[in-house]
Amino acid sequence: MNNRITAQFDAWIIRQHNRLKQRIIHTGFFDEDAFQETYLMMRNTLTGNDYNRDFEALFIALYKQVLSYEYSREMRYFYPDPLFFIYLQSEATEPESEEEQPVPEEIQAKQVDEYVRYNFKAEDYLIFHLKFFDTMTWQGLIDYTGQSSATISRRLNNIKDRVRQHFKHIGMHHNMATL
């Protein structure tokens, strides 16, 4: 019985593939990986009880769950360019003895990103994010914003200085190399 349902589902997906994709595109965000994952999950879980089920409604509901899971899993982490931390480091200070150094907390790139997002204008945050998280080149930033390199540099330096000051109390410059 399960082979019959699986064959019926496969025939349905072949017939409805393009229409189903278009429906998903019109109702929200389409992700090819989530679409394929939904197909595989649904195909592997069909039972004899699903014979009279509406495949389309079931597929759409499962697709939304898979997409939500994929999105939340993907957005858990930021992957900044290594230059992000180099640019944020302040000048090296004289090393203290190990007994005098406080144990710094770990600072995550996400914390820095959130600080900048909530404490700067949207345009400044966009430049910051494009440069350090999306690793856009200087020329790309100039072309994208229409601003001079001096203006962009001034804005980024202002952000870096304020980030350094904000996180200084938890030893950010000490921890930058470990992130």
Overall pTM surpassing 0.85 (yes/no)? no
Cβ count near 178 (within 10 Å): 9
22-80: pLDDT as tens digits:
888 887 777 888 888 888 888 888 776 655 678 888 888 888 888 887 776 665 566 66
145 within 8 A of 154, measured Cβ to Cβ: no
Q: Domains in the chain, start-ordered, CATH in brackets? A: 2-74 (no CATH), 83-91+101-178 (1.10.10)
83-114: pLDDT as tens digits:
666 666 644 444 444 444 443 456 677 888 88
Instruction: Using CB atoms within 10 Å of the CB of residue 135, give its burial: 0 to 12 exposed, 13 to 18 middle, 19+ buried.
Output: middle
